[in-house]
Amino acid sequence: MTVHNPFDGGAEAQRYAAGRPYFHPAVLERLRPLLNGHTLGADVACGTGLSSLALAELVNEVRAFDSSEAMLTQAPAHTRIAFAQAPAESLPLPDHCLDVLTVSQAFHWFDRAAFLPEVQRTLKSEGVLFLYDCYFLGEMPQQPDFGGFAEAYFGRYPTPPRHREPFGSSEAAQAGFGFEENHFLLDLPFSLPGLVAYLLTHSNTLAATARGEPEAEIRAWLTEQLSHFFVSPGAERAVRFRAWYAALRPLPV
C-alpha cells in the first residue's frame, strides 16, 4: 500500500492553519502527571505549531519538527519553541536528550520501523512518547440527523490510504516500550464557517483537491449540507470528538 501524506503543500498548510481547532491542551493535561522531567520536549510532525504551543505549557523548551516547510511557515513565533524541518524518522537531536516526545494526529503517516528506534535514541530512560489524536465522530449532540451528513461526507470524500496496522501493547513491546492508552469524549464548539474550514483540513478533502476538485466547490457543498444545523452562520454548535492518547516508555534493557 502506498501512503502519501497530503499535508505538505502551501495551499494545504494555509487551510490547516485556518481550520484546525486548538484541542491539544485538553489532551496534554493527561500527559502532565506522567512527566518525570520538564527540561526538553520534542513535538514531531508539528504542522502549524498548535501542538507545540500546548507542549510549551508543560516543558521549559520545545524542539518542533515537521517535514513540510510550508506548514512551518504558518507556525507562530514563540520564545521557547524552535521550529525546524525534519522527517519524523530522522531527528536532528542528540542521543537521550528528551524528557518527552509528542505526536499529534500524525503517527499513521510515519514509517514506524524507522520512527520508533529514533524515539528510543532520543528519549531519556525515564522519558515518555505521547501519541494522541482527536477523531471526528460525525456526531453533533442533540442532532441525530447529523449522522446522515457524516455518511454523505465520507461517501463523497473517502479517507485516503494511511498506515492502519494495529499498534497496541504487543507492538509497543516489540519496539522496546511499555504502553498504556486511554480515550475520552470531547465536545468542541464550531460556527458554520468554522466547521466548514475544519473539514477542509481533513485528508479526505485535501485528497479531493489534489484530484482536481476546486476547493470552492468543496466549500460550497459542505456549507449547503451543514447550514440547516445552525440557526445562523455565526452561531456555535458542539461537535463531538473522541480524544485518544497512548503513553509509551522505554523498557529497561
Q: Provide mean pLDDT across the span 27-54.
A: 98
11 pLDDT band, cuts 50/70/90, is confident
Residue 233: its pLDDT value, please? 87
The DSSP bridge partners found for residue 41 are 62, 100
Q: Is the Cβ–Cβ distance between 25 and 57 less than 8 Å? A: yes
Give the amino acid at 147: G
Which fold is adopted by the domain 10-250? Rossmann fold (3.40.50)
Q: In whole angstroms, give the CA distance from residue 128 to residue 119.
A: 9
Q: Is the Cβ–Cβ distance between 243 and 185 less than 8 Å? A: yes
Instruction: Show the cell assigned to 201.
Output: 483540513
The two beta strands, 237-250 and 123-139, are antiparallel
134 pLDDT band, cuts 50/70/90, is very high
The DSSP bridge partners found for residue 249 are 178
Q: In whole angstroms, give the CA distance from residue 99 to residue 81.
A: 15
Torsion of the alpha carbons at 216, 222, 223 and 224, rounded to the nearest 10: 110
Residue 22: its pLDDT value, please? 97
Rounded to a whole number of angstroms, the distance between the first and last alpha carbons of the chain is 34
Residue 12: its pLDDT value, please? 87
User: 218 in helix, strand or coil?
Assistant: helix
Q: In whole angstroms, give the CA distance from residue 181 to residue 166.
A: 14
Please give the share of the chain, as a percent, with pLDDT higher than 70: 96
Residue 84, phi-psi category: left (phi > 0), alpha (psi -120 to 50), beta (remainder): beta
What tens digit of pLDDT does each residue of 137-169 get? 999 998 999 999 999 999 999 988 877 788 999
Residue 165: its pLDDT value, please? 83
Domain chopping of the chain, boundaries: 10-250
DSSP 35: -
User: For residue 50, what are the CA distances in angstroms to 44, 126, 146, 165?
Assistant: 12, 25, 28, 27
Q: Is the Cβ–Cβ distance between 231 and 46 less than 8 Å? A: no
Q: Provide mean pLDDT across the span 202-221.
A: 95
Q: What is the DSSP string of 48-81?
A: TSHHHHHHTTTSSEEEEEES-HHHHHTSPP-TTE
Q: What is the pTM of this model?
A: 0.95
Residue 1 has pLDDT above 70, yes or no: no
* 27: CB partners within 8 A, 6+ apart: 104, 132, 134, 186, 243, 245
Helix or strand run (H / E) with residue 179? strand 177-190
